[in-house]
Amino acid sequence: MASLVGAVCVYAILRLVTGPDRPARTDVVQGALVGVGLAVVTVEVLSRVRAIKVNGWVTLPGCGVPGNGFLTRAACTWMFPGPVNVPDEATYWRSHVDAAGRLLSGQRSYVMHFPAEGLPPNEAFWSLTMGDASNRFVPNPLRRYSVSDRSGLAPNADGSVDVHIQTTAPVGHESNWLPAPSGRFTLWLRVYLPGRVILDGRYAVPPVTEAVTPP
């Protein structure tokens, strides 16, 4: 998105500079466009440089910390729209790709497998939220827009937990279903009062893998 905005700004500047009837206010407009374009590109570059990517999930350390520079704050806002707490209070991840690096889409069914004792450690709660291509809640018959440790997720026999992410309810696993839209979507994982392994960067969020269809 930032690259597109930057390209549009550059194009507009070239049109102003090379136009046959360049008005007197061109320099002011040109300066504003340059400033906006560079600011947007700078923020996205910074967010990409500082971001940590594991298993298709992205997080940005240090968001919400008092004393952050304005560029860091802007990068956090760019990556995680909405209120951002200090890491000790909440940690955030987002993903729009599966384990194979393909964009998440309701055209496929997915499973997010948490091993036994592998749910996000916390002193409050965690939640996995679904957002459509516009980052809006996805209408569904259950009015379920997220799953969490308060959702009554059913564990497997070995203590692991599978979250099923797809457009239709998985037979026999309805309690662990996170409804998906028919098109592209984004997942958000939030952990409140995260455990030390998260704060130390030692917790790896499980990948979102495409579900295996029984033969």
Asked whether residue 175 is assigned to any structural domain, the reply reads yes
How does residue 3 score in pLDDT terms, banded at 50, 70 and 90? very low
Give the pLDDT of residue 211.
Answer: 94
Read off the amino acid at residue 19.
Answer: G
Looking at the fold, whether 92 and 161 belong to one and the same domain comes out as: yes
Nearest Cα to 93, choosing from 61, 116, 138, 117? 61
Number of domains in the chain: 2
Asked whether residue 70 is assigned to any structural domain, the reply reads yes
What 8-state DSSP symbol labels residue 67? T
pLDDT at 138 over 80: yes
Looking at the fold, whether 143 and 170 belong to one and the same domain comes out as: yes
Looking at the fold, whether 125 and 34 belong to one and the same domain comes out as: no
Looking at the fold, whether 101 and 191 belong to one and the same domain comes out as: yes
Looking at the fold, whether 65 and 29 belong to one and the same domain comes out as: no
Say which residue, 181 or 18, is predicted with more confidence.
181
What integer is the mean pLDDT of 82-111?
91
How does residue 19 score in pLDDT terms, banded at 50, 70 and 90? low
Asked whether residue 106 is assigned to any structural domain, the reply reads yes
Among 14-23, 63-72, 79-88, the range scoring the smallest mean pLDDT is 14-23
Looking at the fold, whether 24 and 100 belong to one and the same domain comes out as: no
Distance CA 152, CA 63 (A): 30
Read off the amino acid at residue 41.
Answer: V
Nearest Cα to 174, choosing from 189, 185, 164, 159? 164
Looking at the fold, whether 30 and 106 belong to one and the same domain comes out as: no
Domain boundary among 46, 62, 79: 46
176 near 112, Cβ under 8 Å? no
Looking at the fold, whether 22 and 121 belong to one and the same domain comes out as: no
Looking at the fold, whether 94 and 195 belong to one and the same domain comes out as: yes
Looking at the fold, whether 103 and 34 belong to one and the same domain comes out as: no
Looking at the fold, whether 27 and 117 belong to one and the same domain comes out as: no
- Domain around 88: 52-210
Q: What is the pTM of this model?
A: 0.74
What 8-state DSSP symbol labels residue 46? H
Asked whether residue 56 is assigned to any structural domain, the reply reads yes
Asked whether residue 140 is assigned to any structural domain, the reply reads yes
Q: What pLDDT digit, counting tens, does each position of 140-191 carry? A: 999 999 999 999 999 999 999 999 999 999 999 999 999 999 999 999 999 9
Looking at the fold, whether 24 and 89 belong to one and the same domain comes out as: no
CATH of the domain at 86: 2.60.120.600
Distance CA 63, CA 93 (A): 12
Asked whether residue 215 is assigned to any structural domain, the reply reads no
